[in-house]
Amino acid sequence: MSTRFISRVTTHPTSLTSKDCGVDVEATSGRLVYTAAPKTNVIAGALGGAVCTHVGLTVEEDGGEGFHRTKVIFKDTPMVLRNTEQGVGIQIYDFPKGYLYLLGGIGDLTVTTLVLASLNASVACKWGVGTLTQSTTSLTTTEQDLIDATAFTSSATASVANAATTQSMVTPAFFDGTTTAINAFFNISVDQGGDIDADATVLINGTLFLTWVNLGAYALT
């Protein structure tokens, strides 16, 4: 009785369909071939959310239909801090519809004041990420329920970035977006009214990470 050994394993031809990683038989020649696993770390946009349109704002998605991480990138993204409201918020992301479990979030950002005559030099401010836009100077509750509000000092010199600040949200939280999808807003406030003398333009640079799970929308389609 003779024993036959595999003499050659080749890379898979383009004609093969995606299969689990392993060994397969090529239909045309009968040869054993190595088959690569299909990519799973790059997802279709429908499984993640939607980025909002702002200059210099981009989003990178990683994960699957359930467990997911969203990276928000700011590159000289302008924001106009309103004098009367002592701040502003811009929507940066629209989560997919469903009941969301936020595992946590972190951020690392700089804020650059363009004109010191509007926002005074080296004054106390805050930034945070929430499910609603900025409406108070303290940035509380829904103004910072995705990433906690953190204090920062505005630019000491016009067009020179302030010292970078980091913040996190380490307490997991649930958000019911089954009827209306949850939004994410990046919010900034100026602590004292006398520190902002007119609408002030600032530039945001840095990254945010939001790690979340979509638990479903009751009737998945």
pLDDT (mean) for 18-47: 46
φ/ψ (deg, to 5) at 142: -70, -5
More confident residue, 217 or 157: 157
Whether domain 45-214 has CATH 1.20.120: the reply is no
Other residues' Cβ atoms within 10 Å of the Cβ of residue 219:
6
In percent, the amount of the chain with pLDDT more than 90 equals 67
> Which amino acid would we find at residue 68?
H
Binned at pLDDT 50, 70 and 90, residue 17 comes out as: very low
Q: Is the pLDDT of residue 96 over 70?
A: yes
Every domain range in the chain assigned CATH 2.60.120: 45-214
pLDDT of residue 37: 41
The gap between the terminal CA atoms of the chain, to the nearest Å, is 57
Q: Is the pLDDT of residue 103 over 80?
A: yes
Binned at pLDDT 50, 70 and 90, residue 20 comes out as: very low
Question: Cβ-count burial of 203 within 10 angstroms (0-12 exposed, 13-18 middle, 19+ buried)?
Answer: buried
Q: Is the pLDDT of residue 59 over 80?
A: yes
Q: Compute the CA torsion angle 59, 64, 68, 71 (nearest 10 deg).
A: -20
pLDDT (mean) for 164-185: 93
pTM of the model: 0.77
pLDDT of residue 218: 75
pLDDT (mean) for 144-167: 96
CA atoms 40, 97, 213, 135: torsion sign:
positive
Q: Which residues make Cβ contacts (< 8 Å) with residue 23, sequence separation at least 6?
A: 9, 32, 33, 34, 35
CA distance linking residue 177 with residue 83, whole number of Å: 32
Please state the separation of Cα 49 from the chain's center in Å: 9
Tokens of residue 15, six digits: 């004609």
Taking Cα atoms as reference points, which of 77, 106, 102, 81 lies closest to residue 92?
A: 77
Other residues' Cβ atoms within 10 Å of the Cβ of residue 186:
29
pLDDT (mean) for 80-100: 95
Please state the separation of Cα 108 from the chain's center in Å: 12
CA distance linking residue 169 with residue 146, whole number of Å: 6
- Average pLDDT of the chain is 83
More confident residue, 183 or 50: 183
Q: Is the pLDDT of residue 15 over 60?
A: no
pLDDT (mean) for 54-69: 88
